[in-house]
Structure 1
Protein backbone atom coordinates (compact mmCIF):
# COMPACT_ATOMS: atom_id res chain seq x y z
CA UNK A 1 0.00 0.00 0.00
CA UNK A 2 1.45 3.36 -1.07
CA UNK A 3 2.05 6.01 1.62
CA UNK A 4 -0.13 9.09 1.41
CA UNK A 5 1.37 12.55 1.00
CA UNK A 6 0.18 15.96 2.05
CA UNK A 7 2.10 19.20 1.55
CA UNK A 8 2.11 21.74 4.36
CA UNK A 9 3.29 25.35 4.36
CA UNK A 10 4.99 26.06 7.67
CA UNK A 11 6.45 29.51 8.12
CA UNK A 12 6.98 29.81 4.36
CA UNK A 13 8.63 26.39 4.14
CA UNK A 14 6.96 23.71 2.02
CA UNK A 15 7.19 20.22 3.50
CA UNK A 16 5.90 16.91 2.14
CA UNK A 17 4.43 14.79 4.93
CA UNK A 18 4.17 11.05 4.24
CA UNK A 19 2.03 8.73 6.35
CA UNK A 20 0.47 5.31 5.97
CA UNK A 21 -3.22 5.15 4.98
CA UNK A 22 -3.93 3.05 8.07
CA UNK A 23 -2.54 5.78 10.35
CA UNK A 24 -5.52 8.02 11.09
CA UNK A 25 -6.11 10.93 13.42
CA UNK A 26 -8.31 8.65 15.52
CA UNK A 27 -5.40 6.31 16.26
CA UNK A 28 -4.03 6.37 19.78
CA UNK A 29 -0.56 5.21 18.74
CA UNK A 30 2.25 7.66 19.55
CA UNK A 31 4.00 9.09 16.48
CA UNK A 32 7.64 8.94 15.38
CA UNK A 33 8.73 11.54 12.81
CA UNK A 34 11.65 10.96 10.42
CA UNK A 35 12.94 13.91 8.38
CA UNK A 36 14.47 12.81 5.09
CA UNK A 37 16.79 14.99 2.98
CA UNK A 38 17.77 14.83 -0.71
CA UNK A 39 21.18 15.30 -2.34
CA UNK A 40 22.90 18.23 -4.06
CA UNK A 41 21.07 19.50 -7.17
CA UNK A 42 18.02 17.49 -6.06
CA UNK A 43 14.67 18.07 -4.42
CA UNK A 44 11.94 16.31 -2.46
CA UNK A 45 10.71 14.90 -5.77
CA UNK A 46 13.87 12.84 -6.40
CA UNK A 47 13.27 9.16 -6.99
CA UNK A 48 15.92 8.38 -4.37
CA UNK A 49 13.83 10.21 -1.79
CA UNK A 50 10.47 8.84 -2.90
CA UNK A 51 11.88 5.32 -3.27
CA UNK A 52 13.51 5.34 0.16
CA UNK A 53 10.35 6.66 1.79
CA UNK A 54 8.34 3.87 0.14
CA UNK A 55 10.89 1.24 1.22
CA UNK A 56 10.65 2.48 4.81
CA UNK A 57 6.86 2.27 4.87
CA UNK A 58 6.92 -1.14 3.18
CA UNK A 59 9.10 -2.50 6.00
CA UNK A 60 7.33 -0.76 8.87
CA UNK A 61 3.75 -1.40 7.75
CA UNK A 62 4.08 -4.27 5.27
CA UNK A 63 4.73 -7.96 5.58
CA UNK A 64 7.15 -8.72 8.40
CA UNK A 65 6.62 -5.33 10.01
CA UNK A 66 5.37 -6.90 13.22
CA UNK A 67 2.66 -5.59 15.51
CA UNK A 68 2.85 -1.81 15.45
CA UNK A 69 2.64 0.13 18.69
CA UNK A 70 3.75 3.41 17.12
CA UNK A 71 2.97 5.21 13.88
CA UNK A 72 5.49 6.73 11.49
CA UNK A 73 5.50 10.00 9.60
CA UNK A 74 8.25 10.89 7.12
CA UNK A 75 8.83 14.56 6.35
CA UNK A 76 10.72 15.62 3.22
CA UNK A 77 11.89 19.19 2.69
CA UNK A 78 14.04 20.93 0.12
CA UNK A 79 17.52 22.00 1.15
CA UNK A 80 18.18 25.73 1.00
CA UNK A 81 18.82 26.89 -2.60
CA UNK A 82 17.26 23.68 -3.94
CA UNK A 83 13.88 22.66 -5.35
CA UNK A 84 11.17 25.14 -4.43
CA UNK A 85 13.82 27.20 -2.57
CA UNK A 86 16.22 27.58 -5.51
CA UNK A 87 17.71 31.07 -5.86
CA UNK A 88 20.88 30.55 -7.90
CA UNK A 89 21.83 27.15 -9.35
CA UNK A 90 25.41 28.33 -9.98
CA UNK A 91 25.95 28.44 -6.21
CA UNK A 92 25.34 24.70 -6.00
CA UNK A 93 28.27 23.97 -8.33
CA UNK A 94 31.77 23.00 -7.17
CA UNK A 95 35.14 24.30 -8.37
CA UNK A 96 35.63 23.78 -12.08
CA UNK A 97 37.92 24.79 -14.93
CA UNK A 98 34.75 25.51 -16.90
CA UNK A 99 33.66 29.10 -16.02
CA UNK A 100 30.03 28.17 -16.67
CA UNK A 101 30.19 25.50 -13.94
CA UNK A 102 32.67 27.09 -11.54
CA UNK A 103 31.74 28.32 -8.06
CA UNK A 104 34.62 29.91 -6.15
CA UNK A 105 32.48 29.89 -2.99
CA UNK A 106 31.80 26.16 -3.13
CA UNK A 107 33.24 25.39 0.33
CA UNK A 108 31.10 28.04 2.04
CA UNK A 109 27.98 27.48 -0.04
CA UNK A 110 27.83 23.75 0.61
CA UNK A 111 28.44 24.05 4.34
CA UNK A 112 25.97 26.89 4.91
CA UNK A 113 23.31 24.90 3.04
CA UNK A 114 23.94 21.99 5.41
CA UNK A 115 23.93 24.06 8.60
CA UNK A 116 20.94 26.10 7.45
CA UNK A 117 18.91 22.99 6.69
CA UNK A 118 19.84 21.57 10.09
CA UNK A 119 18.35 24.74 11.60
CA UNK A 120 15.24 24.22 9.47
CA UNK A 121 14.80 20.79 11.04
CA UNK A 122 14.91 22.27 14.54
CA UNK A 123 12.38 24.88 13.42
CA UNK A 124 10.07 22.14 12.13
CA UNK A 125 10.41 20.14 15.34
CA UNK A 126 9.19 23.27 17.14
CA UNK A 127 6.14 23.78 14.93
CA UNK A 128 5.18 20.67 12.94
CA UNK A 129 2.88 19.23 15.57
CA UNK A 130 0.52 22.22 15.68
CA UNK A 131 0.08 22.13 11.89
CA UNK A 132 -0.44 18.36 11.74
CA UNK A 133 -2.58 18.06 14.87
CA UNK A 134 -4.14 21.47 15.61
CA UNK A 135 -6.60 19.95 18.07
CA UNK A 136 -4.01 17.78 19.80
CA UNK A 137 -5.25 14.63 18.07
CA UNK A 138 -1.88 12.82 18.13
CA UNK A 139 1.36 13.03 20.09
CA UNK A 140 4.81 13.06 18.49
CA UNK A 141 7.16 11.27 20.88
CA UNK A 142 10.42 10.91 18.93
CA UNK A 143 12.27 12.56 16.07
CA UNK A 144 14.81 11.23 13.60
CA UNK A 145 16.64 12.42 10.49
CA UNK A 146 18.16 10.77 7.45
CA UNK A 147 19.42 11.89 4.09
CA UNK A 148 21.38 11.12 0.95
CA UNK A 149 24.73 12.73 -0.03
CA UNK A 150 24.27 16.44 0.79
CA UNK A 151 21.36 15.22 2.91
CA UNK A 152 23.73 12.80 4.64
CA UNK A 153 26.09 15.66 5.52
CA UNK A 154 23.15 17.66 6.87
CA UNK A 155 22.00 14.63 8.85
CA UNK A 156 25.30 14.51 10.74
CA UNK A 157 25.10 18.22 11.55
CA UNK A 158 21.45 18.10 12.65
CA UNK A 159 22.11 15.03 14.79
CA UNK A 160 25.02 16.80 16.52
CA UNK A 161 23.07 20.00 17.23
CA UNK A 162 19.48 19.04 17.94
CA UNK A 163 19.08 17.06 21.19
CA UNK A 164 15.50 16.10 20.34
CA UNK A 165 16.74 13.97 17.42
CA UNK A 166 17.24 10.42 18.69
CA UNK A 167 17.95 8.64 15.38
CA UNK A 168 20.14 9.45 12.39
CA UNK A 169 20.70 7.70 9.05
CA UNK A 170 23.41 9.46 7.00
CA UNK A 171 23.59 7.81 3.56
CA UNK A 172 26.78 8.49 1.52
CA UNK A 173 27.40 11.53 3.74
CA UNK A 174 30.39 12.67 5.80
CA UNK A 175 30.68 14.00 9.40
CA UNK A 176 34.12 15.59 8.88
CA UNK A 177 33.70 18.58 6.57
CA UNK A 178 37.32 19.74 6.44
CA UNK A 179 38.60 16.26 5.65
CA UNK A 180 36.10 15.93 2.80
CA UNK A 181 36.36 19.44 1.35
CA UNK A 182 40.15 19.66 1.65
CA UNK A 183 40.49 16.54 -0.51
CA UNK A 184 38.15 18.10 -3.05
CA UNK A 185 40.05 21.40 -2.94
CA UNK A 186 43.38 19.65 -3.45
CA UNK A 187 42.11 17.80 -6.52
CA UNK A 188 40.91 21.15 -7.92
CA UNK A 189 44.15 23.04 -7.09
CA UNK A 190 42.30 25.26 -4.63
CA UNK A 191 44.30 26.50 -1.60
CA UNK A 192 42.82 26.11 1.89
CA UNK A 193 43.11 29.85 2.34
CA UNK A 194 41.15 33.06 1.69
CA UNK A 195 39.17 33.88 -0.33
CA UNK A 196 38.18 30.23 -0.89
CA UNK A 197 38.43 29.43 2.83
CA UNK A 198 38.04 32.62 4.89
CA UNK A 199 39.60 32.55 8.35
CA UNK A 200 36.21 33.15 10.00
CA UNK A 201 34.75 30.21 8.07
CA UNK A 202 37.49 27.81 9.15
CA UNK A 203 37.16 29.02 12.75
CA UNK A 204 33.43 28.27 12.67
CA UNK A 205 34.06 24.74 11.42
CA UNK A 206 36.71 24.18 14.09
CA UNK A 207 34.16 25.05 16.78
CA UNK A 208 30.97 23.53 15.38
CA UNK A 209 31.58 20.68 12.94
CA UNK A 210 30.59 17.21 14.23
CA UNK A 211 34.19 15.98 13.87
CA UNK A 212 35.37 18.79 16.18
CA UNK A 213 32.94 17.91 18.98
CA UNK A 214 33.45 15.47 21.88
CA UNK A 215 32.11 12.54 19.87
CA UNK A 216 34.40 10.05 21.63
CA UNK A 217 33.35 11.03 25.16
CA UNK A 218 31.12 8.92 27.37
CA UNK A 219 29.50 11.85 29.13
CA UNK A 220 27.14 14.76 28.50
CA UNK A 221 29.74 16.63 26.43
CA UNK A 222 29.07 14.15 23.61
CA UNK A 223 25.96 15.18 21.60
CA UNK A 224 25.67 11.70 20.08
CA UNK A 225 25.41 9.84 23.37
CA UNK A 226 22.28 7.70 23.58
CA UNK A 227 21.41 8.16 19.91
CA UNK A 228 20.78 5.49 17.29
CA UNK A 229 22.98 5.94 14.22
CA UNK A 230 23.09 3.93 11.01
CA UNK A 231 25.88 4.92 8.61
CA UNK A 232 25.51 3.73 4.99
CA UNK A 233 28.34 4.24 2.49
CA UNK A 234 29.65 2.84 -0.78
CA UNK A 235 33.08 1.23 -0.75
CA UNK A 236 33.81 2.54 -4.26
CA UNK A 237 32.51 6.07 -3.59
CA UNK A 238 35.04 8.59 -4.91
CA UNK A 239 32.98 11.77 -4.38
CA UNK A 240 32.40 11.15 -0.65
CA UNK A 241 34.94 8.40 0.07
CA UNK A 242 34.49 6.18 3.11
CA UNK A 243 38.04 7.10 4.18
CA UNK A 244 36.81 10.64 4.99
CA UNK A 245 34.30 9.24 7.50
CA UNK A 246 35.95 6.07 8.80
CA UNK A 247 38.00 7.57 11.66
CA UNK A 248 34.99 9.47 13.01
CA UNK A 249 32.59 6.53 12.76
CA UNK A 250 35.04 4.11 14.35
CA UNK A 251 35.62 6.49 17.29
CA UNK A 252 31.99 7.55 17.68
CA UNK A 253 30.65 6.76 21.16
CA UNK A 254 26.88 6.41 21.56
CA UNK A 255 26.86 4.83 25.04
CA UNK A 256 24.89 1.94 26.43
CA UNK A 257 21.56 3.46 25.44
CA UNK A 258 22.65 4.16 21.88
CA UNK A 259 23.11 2.10 18.72
CA UNK A 260 25.92 2.47 16.19
CA UNK A 261 25.88 0.50 12.98
CA UNK A 262 27.91 1.05 9.81
CA UNK A 263 27.47 -0.71 6.48
CA UNK A 264 30.00 -0.05 3.71
CA UNK A 265 28.52 -1.69 0.65
CA UNK A 266 30.88 -3.60 -1.64
CA UNK A 267 30.82 -2.42 -5.25
CA UNK A 268 28.69 0.65 -4.50
CA UNK A 269 29.80 4.13 -5.55
CA UNK A 270 28.22 7.48 -4.74
CA UNK A 271 24.67 6.16 -4.91
CA UNK A 272 21.77 5.21 -2.71
CA UNK A 273 21.36 1.55 -3.59
CA UNK A 274 18.38 -0.69 -2.99
CA UNK A 275 20.48 -2.41 -0.32
CA UNK A 276 20.99 0.91 1.48
CA UNK A 277 17.27 1.63 1.28
CA UNK A 278 16.56 -1.77 2.81
CA UNK A 279 19.05 -1.22 5.65
CA UNK A 280 17.54 2.19 6.37
CA UNK A 281 14.03 0.73 6.40
CA UNK A 282 14.99 -2.05 8.80
CA UNK A 283 16.68 0.44 11.11
CA UNK A 284 13.54 2.60 11.24
CA UNK A 285 11.44 -0.51 11.92
CA UNK A 286 13.65 -1.34 14.91
CA UNK A 287 13.23 2.24 16.13
CA UNK A 288 9.46 1.88 16.07
CA UNK A 289 9.54 -1.48 17.82
CA UNK A 290 11.53 -0.31 20.85
Structure 2
Protein backbone atom coordinates (compact mmCIF):
# COMPACT_ATOMS: atom_id res chain seq x y z
CA UNK A 1 0.00 0.00 0.00
CA UNK A 2 1.14 3.50 -0.84
CA UNK A 3 2.14 6.10 1.73
CA UNK A 4 1.42 9.59 0.44
CA UNK A 5 3.84 12.48 0.73
CA UNK A 6 2.58 15.24 3.02
CA UNK A 7 3.60 18.34 4.96
CA UNK A 8 3.58 17.54 8.67
CA UNK A 9 3.58 21.28 9.44
CA UNK A 10 0.23 21.77 7.71
CA UNK A 11 -1.70 21.41 10.98
CA UNK A 12 -1.17 20.38 14.59
CA UNK A 13 -0.94 16.83 15.89
CA UNK A 14 -1.65 15.72 19.43
CA UNK A 15 -1.67 12.32 21.10
CA UNK A 16 -4.48 11.36 23.46
CA UNK A 17 -4.36 8.03 25.28
CA UNK A 18 -7.92 6.69 25.33
CA UNK A 19 -8.46 3.39 27.08
CA UNK A 20 -4.83 2.39 26.51
CA UNK A 21 -4.85 3.35 22.80
CA UNK A 22 -2.68 6.19 21.52
CA UNK A 23 -5.12 8.21 19.44
CA UNK A 24 -3.66 10.82 17.09
CA UNK A 25 -5.81 13.91 16.59
CA UNK A 26 -5.01 16.63 14.06
CA UNK A 27 -6.01 20.27 13.54
CA UNK A 28 -7.63 20.70 16.96
CA UNK A 29 -6.59 24.36 17.02
CA UNK A 30 -9.35 25.01 14.48
CA UNK A 31 -11.94 23.92 17.06
CA UNK A 32 -10.79 26.44 19.68
CA UNK A 33 -10.86 29.22 17.10
CA UNK A 34 -14.32 28.12 15.96
CA UNK A 35 -15.75 28.19 19.48
CA UNK A 36 -14.09 31.52 20.26
CA UNK A 37 -15.72 33.01 17.16
CA UNK A 38 -19.06 31.52 18.16
CA UNK A 39 -18.78 33.09 21.62
CA UNK A 40 -18.24 36.47 19.95
CA UNK A 41 -21.27 36.13 17.65
CA UNK A 42 -23.62 35.69 20.59
CA UNK A 43 -22.42 38.74 22.51
CA UNK A 44 -25.07 41.27 23.45
CA UNK A 45 -28.80 40.71 24.11
CA UNK A 46 -29.81 37.10 23.63
CA UNK A 47 -33.02 37.92 21.74
CA UNK A 48 -32.67 36.69 18.19
CA UNK A 49 -30.08 34.05 19.01
CA UNK A 50 -31.16 30.46 18.48
CA UNK A 51 -31.74 28.52 21.67
CA UNK A 52 -30.78 24.85 22.07
CA UNK A 53 -28.36 25.24 19.15
CA UNK A 54 -26.41 22.19 18.01
CA UNK A 55 -22.94 23.48 17.18
CA UNK A 56 -21.50 20.98 14.66
CA UNK A 57 -17.92 19.70 14.55
CA UNK A 58 -16.55 17.48 11.75
CA UNK A 59 -14.34 14.53 12.72
CA UNK A 60 -12.74 12.47 9.93
CA UNK A 61 -11.57 8.99 10.97
CA UNK A 62 -8.97 7.15 8.88
CA UNK A 63 -8.55 3.39 9.41
CA UNK A 64 -5.43 1.73 7.99
CA UNK A 65 -4.85 -1.56 6.17
CA UNK A 66 -3.63 -4.96 7.37
CA UNK A 67 0.11 -4.75 7.88
CA UNK A 68 0.14 -0.94 8.07
CA UNK A 69 0.04 1.56 10.92
CA UNK A 70 -1.42 4.94 11.79
CA UNK A 71 1.40 6.60 9.84
CA UNK A 72 -0.17 5.42 6.58
CA UNK A 73 -3.54 6.94 7.38
CA UNK A 74 -1.87 10.00 8.91
CA UNK A 75 -0.46 10.75 5.45
CA UNK A 76 -3.88 10.15 3.85
CA UNK A 77 -5.49 12.44 6.43
CA UNK A 78 -3.06 15.32 5.96
CA UNK A 79 -3.49 15.20 2.21
CA UNK A 80 -7.29 14.95 2.43
CA UNK A 81 -7.57 17.89 4.82
CA UNK A 82 -5.26 20.00 2.68
CA UNK A 83 -7.23 19.15 -0.45
CA UNK A 84 -10.50 20.11 1.27
CA UNK A 85 -9.11 23.48 2.34
CA UNK A 86 -7.62 24.20 -1.08
CA UNK A 87 -10.84 23.38 -2.90
CA UNK A 88 -13.47 24.58 -0.47
CA UNK A 89 -11.60 27.37 1.24
CA UNK A 90 -12.66 28.37 4.72
CA UNK A 91 -15.40 26.07 5.96
CA UNK A 92 -18.06 27.28 8.35
CA UNK A 93 -17.61 24.06 10.33
CA UNK A 94 -13.98 23.03 10.97
CA UNK A 95 -12.69 19.52 10.36
CA UNK A 96 -10.22 17.56 12.43
CA UNK A 97 -9.00 14.07 11.67
CA UNK A 98 -8.23 11.05 13.82
CA UNK A 99 -6.26 7.87 13.36
CA UNK A 100 -4.62 5.17 15.49
CA UNK A 101 -2.86 1.81 15.26
CA UNK A 102 -5.32 -1.02 14.80
CA UNK A 103 -5.15 -4.08 17.01
CA UNK A 104 -1.93 -6.08 16.58
CA UNK A 105 -0.47 -3.30 14.39
CA UNK A 106 2.15 -0.60 14.87
CA UNK A 107 3.02 -0.14 18.51
CA UNK A 108 0.16 -2.48 19.45
CA UNK A 109 1.71 -5.47 17.66
CA UNK A 110 1.78 -8.69 19.69
CA UNK A 111 2.31 -11.27 16.95
CA UNK A 112 3.09 -10.25 13.38
CA UNK A 113 2.27 -13.76 12.14
CA UNK A 114 -1.39 -13.17 12.94
CA UNK A 115 -1.49 -10.39 10.33
CA UNK A 116 -0.39 -12.72 7.54
CA UNK A 117 -2.62 -14.59 5.10
CA UNK A 118 -3.18 -18.28 4.51
CA UNK A 119 -0.85 -18.14 1.51
CA UNK A 120 1.87 -16.73 3.79
CA UNK A 121 1.53 -19.61 6.25
CA UNK A 122 -0.94 -18.25 8.80
CA UNK A 123 -3.36 -21.16 9.40
CA UNK A 124 -5.81 -18.93 11.33
CA UNK A 125 -5.92 -16.04 8.85
CA UNK A 126 -9.73 -15.93 8.62
CA UNK A 127 -10.25 -15.98 12.37
CA UNK A 128 -7.48 -13.47 12.94
CA UNK A 129 -8.78 -10.99 10.37
CA UNK A 130 -12.44 -11.02 11.37
CA UNK A 131 -11.78 -10.98 15.12
CA UNK A 132 -9.42 -8.03 14.57
CA UNK A 133 -12.14 -6.22 12.62
CA UNK A 134 -14.55 -6.67 15.52
CA UNK A 135 -11.90 -5.43 17.94
CA UNK A 136 -11.25 -2.41 15.74
CA UNK A 137 -14.97 -1.64 15.69
CA UNK A 138 -15.00 -1.67 19.48
CA UNK A 139 -11.96 0.62 19.55
CA UNK A 140 -13.55 3.13 17.16
CA UNK A 141 -16.69 3.18 19.31
CA UNK A 142 -14.58 3.72 22.44
CA UNK A 143 -12.74 6.62 20.82
CA UNK A 144 -15.95 8.22 19.56
CA UNK A 145 -17.47 7.96 23.03
CA UNK A 146 -14.52 9.47 24.89
CA UNK A 147 -12.81 11.86 22.46
CA UNK A 148 -15.31 14.68 23.20
CA UNK A 149 -14.53 14.40 26.92
CA UNK A 150 -10.78 14.51 26.37
CA UNK A 151 -11.11 17.51 24.06
CA UNK A 152 -13.41 19.13 26.66
CA UNK A 153 -14.59 21.86 24.31
CA UNK A 154 -17.62 22.62 26.46
CA UNK A 155 -15.19 24.35 28.83
CA UNK A 156 -14.49 26.88 26.06
CA UNK A 157 -18.14 27.87 25.62
CA UNK A 158 -19.01 31.05 27.51
CA UNK A 159 -21.72 31.27 30.15
CA UNK A 160 -24.27 32.66 27.73
CA UNK A 161 -23.77 29.77 25.31
CA UNK A 162 -24.09 27.17 28.05
CA UNK A 163 -26.62 28.63 30.46
CA UNK A 164 -28.87 30.84 28.32
CA UNK A 165 -28.74 29.44 24.79
CA UNK A 166 -27.94 25.91 26.06
CA UNK A 167 -25.64 25.25 23.12
CA UNK A 168 -24.63 21.62 22.58
CA UNK A 169 -21.66 20.37 20.58
CA UNK A 170 -22.52 17.92 17.81
CA UNK A 171 -19.72 15.60 16.66
CA UNK A 172 -20.28 14.49 13.05
CA UNK A 173 -18.23 11.40 12.25
CA UNK A 174 -16.90 10.61 8.76
CA UNK A 175 -15.25 7.19 8.40
CA UNK A 176 -12.67 6.24 5.81
CA UNK A 177 -10.68 3.02 5.60
CA UNK A 178 -8.79 0.95 3.10
CA UNK A 179 -8.39 -2.80 2.76
CA UNK A 180 -8.81 -4.10 6.34
CA UNK A 181 -9.85 -0.58 7.26
CA UNK A 182 -12.49 -0.64 4.52
CA UNK A 183 -13.94 -3.91 5.83
CA UNK A 184 -13.99 -2.35 9.30
CA UNK A 185 -15.72 0.86 8.22
CA UNK A 186 -18.55 -1.08 6.53
CA UNK A 187 -19.18 -3.21 9.58
CA UNK A 188 -18.94 -0.27 11.98
CA UNK A 189 -21.61 1.57 9.98
CA UNK A 190 -23.76 -1.57 9.97
CA UNK A 191 -23.54 -1.83 13.76
CA UNK A 192 -23.67 1.87 14.70
CA UNK A 193 -25.43 3.71 11.85
CA UNK A 194 -26.51 6.51 14.17
CA UNK A 195 -22.85 7.45 14.75
CA UNK A 196 -21.84 7.77 11.10
CA UNK A 197 -22.41 10.65 8.67
CA UNK A 198 -20.60 9.18 5.63
CA UNK A 199 -18.29 6.27 4.84
CA UNK A 200 -15.43 5.86 2.40
CA UNK A 201 -14.18 2.36 1.60
CA UNK A 202 -11.05 1.81 -0.47
CA UNK A 203 -10.58 -1.78 -1.72
CA UNK A 204 -12.89 -2.91 1.08
CA UNK A 205 -15.47 -5.70 0.94
CA UNK A 206 -18.94 -6.09 2.51
CA UNK A 207 -19.02 -9.87 1.93
CA UNK A 208 -16.29 -11.40 4.08
CA UNK A 209 -17.70 -14.93 3.86
CA UNK A 210 -17.32 -15.00 0.09
CA UNK A 211 -13.99 -13.19 0.25
CA UNK A 212 -12.49 -15.74 2.64
CA UNK A 213 -14.00 -18.84 1.03
CA UNK A 214 -12.85 -17.92 -2.48
CA UNK A 215 -9.45 -16.95 -1.07
CA UNK A 216 -9.15 -20.20 0.89
CA UNK A 217 -10.16 -22.37 -2.04
CA UNK A 218 -7.97 -20.34 -4.43
CA UNK A 219 -10.91 -20.04 -6.82
CA UNK A 220 -10.26 -18.41 -10.19
CA UNK A 221 -11.96 -15.08 -10.82
CA UNK A 222 -13.56 -16.60 -13.90
CA UNK A 223 -15.13 -19.39 -11.88
CA UNK A 224 -18.91 -19.25 -11.36
CA UNK A 225 -18.24 -19.66 -7.63
CA UNK A 226 -17.48 -15.93 -7.56
CA UNK A 227 -21.08 -15.22 -8.51
CA UNK A 228 -22.41 -16.95 -5.39
CA UNK A 229 -23.11 -15.32 -2.08
CA UNK A 230 -21.57 -17.93 0.17
CA UNK A 231 -23.15 -16.52 3.33
CA UNK A 232 -26.46 -17.94 2.13
CA UNK A 233 -24.96 -21.45 2.04
CA UNK A 234 -24.75 -24.02 4.81
CA UNK A 235 -21.32 -25.23 5.85
CA UNK A 236 -21.69 -28.61 4.14
CA UNK A 237 -22.41 -26.80 0.86
CA UNK A 238 -19.00 -25.11 0.81
CA UNK A 239 -17.29 -28.30 -0.43
CA UNK A 240 -14.22 -27.77 1.73
CA UNK A 241 -11.48 -30.34 2.08
CA UNK A 242 -10.53 -31.63 5.52
CA UNK A 243 -7.51 -29.33 5.48
CA UNK A 244 -9.65 -26.33 4.53
CA UNK A 245 -12.12 -27.14 7.30
CA UNK A 246 -9.32 -26.75 9.83
CA UNK A 247 -8.65 -23.25 8.51
CA UNK A 248 -12.31 -22.27 8.16
CA UNK A 249 -14.29 -23.93 11.01
CA UNK A 250 -18.02 -24.52 10.87
CA UNK A 251 -18.69 -22.38 13.94
CA UNK A 252 -16.83 -19.50 12.32
CA UNK A 253 -18.81 -19.76 9.09
CA UNK A 254 -22.14 -19.76 10.92
CA UNK A 255 -21.05 -16.71 12.93
CA UNK A 256 -19.64 -14.78 9.97
CA UNK A 257 -22.45 -15.47 7.54
CA UNK A 258 -24.99 -13.90 9.89
CA UNK A 259 -22.90 -10.72 9.92
CA UNK A 260 -22.83 -10.68 6.13
CA UNK A 261 -26.58 -11.25 5.91
CA UNK A 262 -27.07 -8.25 8.18
CA UNK A 263 -24.76 -6.11 5.99
CA UNK A 264 -26.70 -7.05 2.86
CA UNK A 265 -30.24 -7.12 4.21
CA UNK A 266 -30.33 -4.61 7.09
CA UNK A 267 -27.72 -1.97 6.26
CA UNK A 268 -28.99 1.63 6.47
CA UNK A 269 -28.19 2.37 2.83
CA UNK A 270 -30.48 5.39 2.60
CA UNK A 271 -29.10 6.99 5.76
CA UNK A 272 -25.32 6.90 5.17
CA UNK A 273 -23.80 8.25 1.91
CA UNK A 274 -20.83 6.21 0.66
CA UNK A 275 -17.87 6.81 -1.63
CA UNK A 276 -16.34 3.43 -2.57
CA UNK A 277 -13.09 2.90 -4.49
CA UNK A 278 -11.82 -0.24 -6.20
CA UNK A 279 -8.97 -1.31 -8.44
CA UNK A 280 -10.32 -3.28 -11.39
CA UNK A 281 -7.29 -5.62 -11.27
CA UNK A 282 -7.47 -6.26 -7.53
CA UNK A 283 -6.96 -10.02 -7.00
CA UNK A 284 -6.71 -9.86 -3.18
CA UNK A 285 -10.13 -8.24 -2.65
CA UNK A 286 -11.77 -8.57 -6.08
CA UNK A 287 -14.36 -5.83 -6.75
CA UNK A 288 -16.55 -8.55 -8.23
CA UNK A 289 -17.45 -9.54 -4.66
CA UNK A 290 -18.69 -6.04 -3.84
CA UNK A 291 -20.44 -5.10 -7.07
CA UNK A 292 -23.96 -6.20 -6.12
CA UNK A 293 -23.79 -4.46 -2.73
CA UNK A 294 -22.48 -1.25 -4.32
CA UNK A 295 -25.30 -1.33 -6.88
CA UNK A 296 -27.86 -1.68 -4.09
CA UNK A 297 -26.21 1.25 -2.33
CA UNK A 298 -26.18 3.56 -5.33
CA UNK A 299 -29.78 2.67 -6.24
CA UNK A 300 -30.86 3.46 -2.67
CA UNK A 301 -28.73 6.47 -1.76
CA UNK A 302 -28.56 9.25 -4.36
CA UNK A 303 -25.52 10.84 -2.70
CA UNK A 304 -23.36 7.73 -3.01
CA UNK A 305 -20.71 7.12 -5.66
CA UNK A 306 -18.26 4.41 -6.66
CA UNK A 307 -14.96 4.66 -8.49
CA UNK A 308 -13.46 1.65 -10.27
CA UNK A 309 -9.96 2.59 -11.36
CA UNK A 310 -8.71 0.68 -14.36
CA UNK A 311 -5.37 -1.16 -14.39
CA UNK A 312 -5.04 -0.81 -10.59
CA UNK A 313 -4.75 -3.70 -8.15
CA UNK A 314 -5.08 -3.74 -4.35
CA UNK A 315 -4.02 -0.14 -3.93
CA UNK A 316 -5.05 3.26 -2.64
CA UNK A 317 -4.12 5.76 -5.34
CA UNK A 318 -3.82 9.51 -5.70
CA UNK A 319 -6.96 9.47 -7.83
CA UNK A 320 -8.90 7.65 -5.10
CA UNK A 321 -7.73 10.14 -2.47
CA UNK A 322 -8.69 13.16 -4.57
CA UNK A 323 -12.00 11.57 -5.54
CA UNK A 324 -12.94 11.05 -1.91
CA UNK A 325 -11.74 14.49 -0.83
CA UNK A 326 -13.72 16.24 -3.55
CA UNK A 327 -16.81 14.12 -2.78
CA UNK A 328 -16.81 14.67 0.98
CA UNK A 329 -16.64 18.46 0.64
CA UNK A 330 -20.39 18.64 0.04
CA UNK A 331 -21.07 17.07 3.47
CA UNK A 332 -18.77 19.29 5.57
Normalising to structure 1: TM-score of the pair?
0.86
CA apart distance, 1:215: 4.0
CA apart distance, 1:226: 1.1
What aligned pairs does 1:95-174 form with structure 2 within 5 A after superposition? Answer: 95-96=118-119, 101-133=120-152, 135-137=154-156, 139-163=169-193, 164-174=195-205
* Residues 216-243 of structure 1: per-residue CA shift (max 9 Å, x gap): 6xxxx54333111000111111111111
Task: Give the secondary structure class of the aligned counterpart of 1:236.
Answer: coil
CA–CA separation in structure 2 for the residues paired with 1:156 and 1:72 = 22
Task: Give the secondary structure class of the aligned counterpart of 2:290.
Answer: helix
Task: Give the secondary structure class of the aligned counterpart of 2:67.
Answer: coil
Task: Give the secondary structure class of the aligned counterpart of 1:259.
Answer: coil
CA apart distance, 1:167: 0.8
* Residues 86-138 of structure 1: per-residue CA shift (max 9 Å, x gap): 11001111113xxxx41110001011111210121111111110001264437
Task: Give the secondary structure class of the aligned counterpart of 2:255.
Answer: helix
CA–CA separation in structure 1 for the residues paired with 2:27 and 2:176 = 16
Does 1:182 find its partner at 2:213?
Answer: yes
User: Which of 216, 231, 245 is residue 276 of structure 2 equivalent to?
Assistant: 231
* Residues 168-187 of structure 1: per-residue CA shift (max 9 Å, x gap): 00111111101111121012
CA–CA separation in structure 1 for the residues paired with 2:138 and 2:308 = 28
- Contact in 2 for aligned 1:185/1:191 (Cα 8 Å): no
Change (3 A) 1:142 1:22: closer
- Contact in 2 for aligned 1:93/1:103 (Cα 8 Å): yes
Residue ranges of structure 2 left out of the alignment (5+ in a row): 1-8, 39-54, 158-168, 220-238
The aligned residue for residue 305 of structure 2 is 261
Residue ranges of structure 1 left out of the alignment (5+ in a row): none
**Could you list the runs of 4 or more consecutive aligned residues of structure 1 that deviate by over 6 angstroms after TM superposition?**
none
The aligned residue for residue 60 of structure 2 is 34
- Contact in 1 for aligned 2:60/2:176 (Cα 8 Å): yes
Higher Cα Rg, which structure: 2
CA apart distance, 1:147: 0.8
CA–CA separation in structure 2 for the residues paired with 1:161 and 1:270 = 26
Change (3 A) 1:50 1:124: closer
Does 1:271 find its partner at 2:315?
Answer: yes
